[in-house]
Amino acid sequence: MRLLEYQAKELFKEFGIKTPPSISSKDIEKGRKDAKELGYPFVIKVQVPVGGRGKAGGIQKCSSDDEFELKYPQLLNMSIKGEKTRAILLEKMADIEKELYLSLFLNRSKRCYTIIASSEGGVEIESVKSQTIREVGLGDVDAQTAKEVANEIGLKDSQEEQFVEMLQKLSKLTIEKEAELAEINPLAILKDGTLIALDGKVMTDDNSNFRHDELQQYQEKSELEEQAEKSGFSLVELEGNIAVIGNGAGLVMSTFDLVTDNGGKPATFLDVGGGATTETVYEALTLISKMKRVTGILVNLYGGIVKTTTVAEAFIQAYNNNLIDIPVFARLMGTRSKEAKEMLKDTKTKMFDSIEDAINGVVMEANK
């Protein structure tokens, strides 16, 4: 799960990591109350599950009711990189002396957690040259290691102590919540010498959700994504008009790449899982039927042991039940494909032997 800033900060607070005073809301009525409680001036920050919102104008200063009435609705209705605003965070401005960087992240290749710290913060860490990196096994950070990291990024005395405490708390959060990434960027040193988390990003391991009921409140899934999950599918929604369906994440990604290469705009990445049956394909079409912007469906299945006739049956049922009336372009690898083609002869489903031909067909249809 990719937590939004305000959710990450709730976790920070729970683990005793300092953050500026802030309140989150999802509508302007609540926002007005929050504004009164917090008091001007403050910043309005859009909450989106994607980086780069500052540059996109998603963080605005606000110092009066008039400004608030103008900016709050603007920010609530904005989209950044295709992501709609999920919530708004009002936050008191901090008196910043210096910005640092700190994160604990799962180094996948080394199969261990890694501390990354830097005396430069507030920018993307990849663009920072001076990084301190420490491997810490399953994520536990002892005081000595934390102290060494603090010293390496130039912190001493009270600031070193505060940093050690903050890093150890971040480590506890990472382990207990099974995070793949817990990042504080920027970690600010305020004019009065206090260390504070100005922004936060936490990604947890979706596969451990079953033992983290307490994190379920942070789940920001669309209705369609929830339905897909119930069916055992994985779905990513996008803004295009071609629904891309397949079995196996790699194959669907590959199909998605080719659609985009050929000038098509995918509306979905829909992986129905390793196998493919009449039921799973019918369920996938049911999900797609709820997306009004879709004007063409592309299906790429590698069956191996699947009979293509059982999949063709799903298309026929979908047309018979008036579930869909848009054309389907399908490439089904598996046995009995001649029969499947015969079955689909008088429907709006076209079967192809090569995925390239199916993609050309669906892109032409969708771009009509």
Partner 1 sequence: MTDIYKILRGQKDADGNYEKKPVIVQGITGKYGSAHAKLMLEYGTNIVAGVTPGKGGQKFEDKIPIYESVKEAVDATGAEISIVFVPAKFFLGAAKDALESGIKLLVAIPEHVPIRDAMEAIELAKKKDAIIIGPNTPGVIVPGLIKVGIMPATPFSTGKVAVLSKSGTLLYEISNNLTSAGFGQNITIGIGGDPVNGTRMIDAFDMVKDDPDLEAMVVVGEIGGDSEEILAQHIIDTGFKKPIVGYIAGRQAPKEKRMGHAGAIVMGNYGSAESKISMFAKANIPVAKRPGEVAVLLAGKMNS
Residues that bind partner 1 (CB under 8 A): 2, 49-51, 81-82, 106, 108-109, 111-112, 124-126, 138, 178, 180-181, 205-208, 210-211, 234, 236, 238, 246-254, 256-261, 269, 271, 274, 302-305, 333, 354-356
Residues in the chain: 368
Minimum CB separation from partner 1 for residue 87, in Å? 17
Nearer to partner 1 (CB atom), residue 227 or residue 347: 227
Beta strands in the chain (DSSP E): 22-25, 42-47, 59-62, 79-80, 83-84, 87-92, 96-107, 112-118, 132-135, 179-190, 195-197, 200-204, 234-237, 242-246, 266-271, 296-307, 328-335, 349-352
Nearer to partner 1 (CB atom), residue 89 or residue 270: 270
Residues 293, 267 contacting (CB under 8 angstroms)? yes
Residues 315, 330 contacting (CB under 8 angstroms)? yes
Nearer to partner 1 (CB atom), residue 258 or residue 328: 258
Nearer to partner 1 (CB atom), residue 2 or residue 147: 2
Q: Rounded to whole angstroms, how far apart are CA atoms 90 and 62?
A: 9
Minimum CB separation from partner 1 for residue 60, in Å? 23
Minimum CB separation from partner 1 for residue 38, in Å? 29
Minimum CB separation from partner 1 for residue 256, in Å? 6
Residues 197, 184 contacting (CB under 8 angstroms)? yes
Q: Rounded to whole angstroms, how far apart are CA atoms 116 and 125?
A: 9
Closest to 4 measured CA to CA, from 211, 215, 278, 209: 215
Active site residue 229: no
Minimum CB separation from partner 1 for residue 255, in Å? 9
- The active-site residue out of 183, 283, 313, 365 is 183
Nearer to partner 1 (CB atom), residue 108 or residue 368: 108
Q: Is the Cα torsion angle 24, 27, 31, 33 positive or negative in sign?
A: negative
Q: Which residues pair with 22 in a beta bridge?
A: 91
Angle at 142 between CA 140 and CA 147, to 5 degrees: 130
DSSP 139: S
Residues 112, 97 contacting (CB under 8 angstroms)? no
Give the DSSP per-residue string, 196-218.
EESSEEEEE-GGGGGG-GGGGGG
Minimum CB separation from partner 1 for residue 153, in Å? 20
- The active-site residue out of 6, 101, 218, 282 is 101
Active site residue 101: yes
DSSP 220: -
Nearer to partner 1 (CB atom), residue 296 or residue 303: 303
Report the catalytic residues: 101, 183
